[in-house]
Amino acid sequence: MDNVHQFEVIVVGAGGAGLMAGLYASKIAKTAVISKLYPTRSHTGAAQGGISAALGNYEEDNPDWHVYDTVKGSDYLGDQDAIEFMCHEAIQAVYELEHMGLPFDRTPEGRIAQRPFGGHTNNKTGKAVRRACHAADRTGHMILQTLYQQCLKNKVNFYDEFQVLDILIEDGKTVGVVGVELATGELHTFHAKSVIIATGGHGRVWEITSNAYAYTGDGAAIVSRHGIPLEDMEFFQFHPTGIYKMGILITEGVRGEGGVLLNNEGTRFMETYAPTVKDLASRDVVSRAMYLEMRAGRGIDGNRYCYLDVTPATVNKYAEIDGRTNPDGSPYVVTGEQILSKIPDIVDFSRTYLGVDPITQPMPVQPTAHYAMGGIPTNKSGEVVIDDKNTVFPGLFAAGEAACVSVHGANRLGTNSLLDIVVFGKHAGIRAAEFAQGADYVALPADPTDFSRQQVDRLKNGSGKENAFDIGKEMKAVMFDEVGVYRTEEGIQKAVEKLTELQERFKGVKVQDTGKIFNTELLNTWELGNLLDMAEITAAAALNRKESRGGHARDDYPERDDKNWLKHSLAWKKDGKIKLGYKPVVLTKFKPKKRVY
């Protein structure tokens, strides 16, 4: 067979999770990392605000507080054993990044600088605590660069611009993956003992999103086609501050530096919704507050946006009202220059895309689809678990946004994803390599590329009656309107029906480009198929969950219902139908209680 490669461990994805997995796995086993983008183009590079760890570089902090904040942020749906593990590993993980060379900003003493972020608190006082370790407002860029550099240094094998289309599974065992080399259009088979899926999220399902074009849920869709369930897919995070109409993210770090949200009356409305931490409440809470303001006619000019104001006058005014102080106890006062130095990229984005200078004017913002809490179910070691008893699927691993450990539960705290990818990427890499060392290669099937070819041929040979771009647009619109920040039975039902129609119409799509070299049309269309699957599963799970929790807010079931719904959902897609099941949440120290910020 042509184009067959053999590696003990294959990592699919070269973002933070994939690179960390590749780095650690390759210390133990023969490993390769496959990525549809050049590694440095991965979406981890877009992350702005920071990575959390209770270093306490400015003031008292404690990993146990980080644990509690994460549990509370998750609206009690996160598995507490995994959360404890992550928050305690956080400190060493951040120091490790520094040792690798990551250029964190520094405190006056030369230690790693930290800033406040939504939901990070001193558990004794309830006040915001500086836990987000940052490198300006491009922390993700620095993480991605640093990890890629370490991989180069350690001679990790890369297959850049190879897009994986299928995973090979024989008799319940992992055998490898099949991918297409973009430059030639050739299919390649990667024979492996362990496969780690680290393909990121699927925010491109929604119209307004902070997510890259590449965020199409490939990994989750691929495994789902092989009968593996996806967990908690109804939980998708809408970040409160996306640039109006474009969705480009304005980090929570802006509010961490003192920025506030204002309605059309110039009122800082978060005071009403979260009296203690106000603008730094959890993301789900802030996004809902913005929707309620807009519904009540208090959006700016009657439109569906609010203002995010980080001009020094506003920052200083509210810092004084809040009694905010510097670490040395002096009152918190900022200048335009200081704002610029803390959030240079945000200032740039705003100037470029809005024509607004945030040092002198407020920025128009609206909630934007941001982060997949749900994904491929795994345990703490990154092993994929396929049922309510957490049965491990041999040789299959997942990490990063594609996975659901679950440490984010119903709502992720800002900065916990960069932490997640570093911690669980590492452990998935180690475990996958250990597994590979103790396992034999399972023989490849006779025709490993068969299913990949079928998928591609279908897109080449459709009737051509339908346009893929329009199908995508219609999907994004209905998902944003009906399966967005607020949801109702009627609305989700409408989305479900629409998605059934779109899936049917998708069969009538035919790509124009018949070439082999960089046939991006073909691959974008294949990705649309993944997005449709992600949308369908999300809508089905959202329709099913009759309560409000974290990122899943139902107008018709406004309360959290622990009696009936303190459980993870699992969704299988088979023969075009979605089957739902459940699995228990792991509770250790913290009993669910009402969530107030």
Partner 1 sequence: MNVTLKILRYNPEKDEKGHYETYSVEAEPTDRLLDLLEEIKGHQDGTLTFRRSCAHGVCGSDAMRINGSNKLACQVLIKNVGAKITIEPLLGLKVVKDLIVDMEPFFDNYKKVLPHLINESALPADGKERIQSQKERARFDDTTKCIMCAACTTSCPSFWGNDDFLGPAALVSAHRFVFDSRDEGASERLEVLSETFGVARCHTAFNCTSACPRDIKITQAIGELKMAMVTGKLD
Return residues touching ligand FAD (CB under 6 A): 12-18, 34-37, 39, 42-44, 46-51, 139-140, 163-164, 198-200, 210-211, 214, 218, 249, 251, 371, 400-402, 414-418, 421
- Name the 3-class secondary structure at 317: helix
Contact call for residue 345 and partner 1 (CB under 8 A): yes
Interacting span for partner 1 (CB under 8 A) from 33-41, 81-89, 387-395, 552-560: 33-41
Q: Using CB under 8 A, which of 469, 488, 497, 588 touches partner 1?
A: 469
Strands, E assignment, 47-146 = 51-52, 114-121, 128-133
Name which of 103 and 227 has its Cβ closer to partner 1.
Answer: 103
Among 6, 123, 186, 212, binds partner 1 (CB under 8 A): 212
The DSSP bridge pattern shows strands 230-231 and 567-574 to be antiparallel
Tell me which of partner 1, ligand FAD, none is bound by residue 12, counting a contact when its beta carbon lies within the kind-specific cut-off of 5 to 8 angstroms: ligand FAD
* Partner whose binding site includes residue 554, from ligand FAD, partner 1, none (CB under 5 to 8 Å by kind): none
Closer to partner 1 at the Cβ: 272 or 352? 352
Q: Of these partners, partner 1, ligand FAD, none, which one is at the site of residue 477 (CB under 5 to 8 Å by kind)?
A: none
Q: Letter for the amino acid at 213? A: Y
Q: How far apart are CA 52 and CA 66, in angstroms?
A: 8
Q: How far is the CB of 528 from ligand FAD (least distance, A)?
A: 13
Find the length of the chain: 597
Q: How far apart are CA 282 and CA 273, in angstroms?
A: 11
The residues, ordered by sequence, that sit 6+ positions from 297 with a Cβ below 8 Å of its Cβ are 264
- CA atoms of 476 and 531, how far apart (whole Å): 9
Amino acid letter at 161? E
Of 517 and 596, CB closest to partner 1: 517
Q: Which residue number places its CB atom closest to ligand FAD?
A: 15
CA 4 to chain centre: 32
Nearest to 410 by CA among 81, 76, 115: 76
Options 4, 296, 517, 596; binder of partner 1; rule CB under 8 A: 517
Q: Are 176 and 445 in contact (CB under 8 A)?
A: no
With CB cut-offs between 5 and 8 Å by kind, which of ligand FAD, partner 1, none does residue 78 bind?
A: none
Residues 46-105 that bind partner 1 (CB under 8 A): 46, 92, 95, 98-101, 103-105
| Structure tokens that stand for 560 in this block | 């959290």
Cβ nearer to partner 1, comparing 239 with 549: 239
Question: E strand or H helix at 253, and its extent?
Answer: helix 253-256
Q: Nearest distance from residue 493's CB to ligand FAD, in Å?
A: 29
Min CB(1)–ligand FAD separation in Å: 21
Q: Under a CB-based contact definition with an 8 Å cutoff, are residues 428 and 382 in contact?
A: yes
Q: Is 528 in the site for partner 1 (CB under 8 A)?
A: no
Is residue 214 near partner 1 by the rule CB under 8 A? yes
DSSP secondary structure letters along 146-201: HHHHHHHHTT-EEEETEEEEEEEEETTEEEEEEEEETTT--EEEEEEEEEEE----
194 binds, among ligand FAD, partner 1, none (CB under 5 to 8 A by kind): none
Q: Which of 353, 451, 572, 590 binds partner 1 (CB under 8 A)?
A: 353
Say which entry of ligand FAD, partner 1, none residue 18 contacts (CB below 5 to 8 A, set by partner kind): ligand FAD
CB atoms within 10 A of CB 429: 32
Closer by beta carbon to partner 1, 292 or else 334: 334
* Window 437-466: contact mask with partner 1 (x via CB under 8 A): ------------------------------
Min dist. Cβ of residue 5 to ligand FAD (A): 14
> Is 141 among the residues that bind partner 1 (CB under 8 A)?
yes
Which residue number, 47 or 571, has a Cβ lying nearer to partner 1?
A: 47
**Does the footprint of partner 1 cover residue 246 (CB under 8 A)?**
yes
Tell me the β-bridge partners of 553.
486
Q: Buried b / exposed e across 374-396, counting CB within 10 Å, b at 16+? A: bbbbbbbbbbbbbeeeeeebbbb
Q: Residue 304 burial by CB count (10 A; 0-12/13-18/19+): exposed, middle or buried?
A: middle
Residue (47 or 396) nearer to partner 1, CB? 47
In the complex, the smallest distance separating the C-beta of residue 117 from ligand FAD, rounded to whole angstroms, is 8
Distance CA 595, CA 597 (A): 7
In the residue annotation, 283 being an active-site residue is answered as yes
Smallest gap from residue 45 Cβ to partner 1 (A): 6
Residue whose CB is less far from partner 1, 109 or 265: 109
Interface segment toward partner 1; rule CB under 8 A; list 190-198, 478-486, 517-525, 587-595: 517-525
Give whichever of 47 and 532 is closer to ligand FAD, judged by the CB atom: 47
Nearest approach, Cβ of residue 95 and partner 1 (Å):
6
What is the smallest separation between the CB atom of 111 and partner 1, expressed in angstroms? 6
User: From CA 494, how far away is CA 299, in angstroms rounded?
Assistant: 26
Q: Which residues of 525-536 are buried (b: 16+ CB within 10 A; e: fewer)?
A: bbbbbbbbbbbb
Contact between residue 9 and residue 193 where contact means Cβ atoms under 8 Å apart: yes
Which of 1, 213, 331, 335 is the binder for partner 1 (CB under 8 A)?
213
**Annotated catalytic residue, options 283, 412, 554, 595:** 283
Instruction: Let me know: does 432 contact 424? Beta carbons within 8 Å.
Output: no
> Interface with partner 1 includes 518 (CB under 8 A)?
yes
CA distance 175 to 191: 6
Closest CA to 34 of 216, 292, 218: 218
| Close Cβ partners of 357 (under 8 Å, ≥ 6 residues apart) | 347, 350, 351
Report the residue number, 208 or 496, with the smaller CB distance to ligand FAD. Answer: 208
> Least distance in Å: CB of 191 to ligand FAD?
17
- Interface positions with partner 1 (CB under 8 A): 37-38, 40-43, 45-46, 92, 95, 98-101, 103-112, 135-136, 138, 141-142, 145, 149-150, 152-153, 183, 212-214, 246, 248, 345, 348-349, 352-353, 467-470, 472, 511-513, 515-521, 524
Catalytic residue list: 283
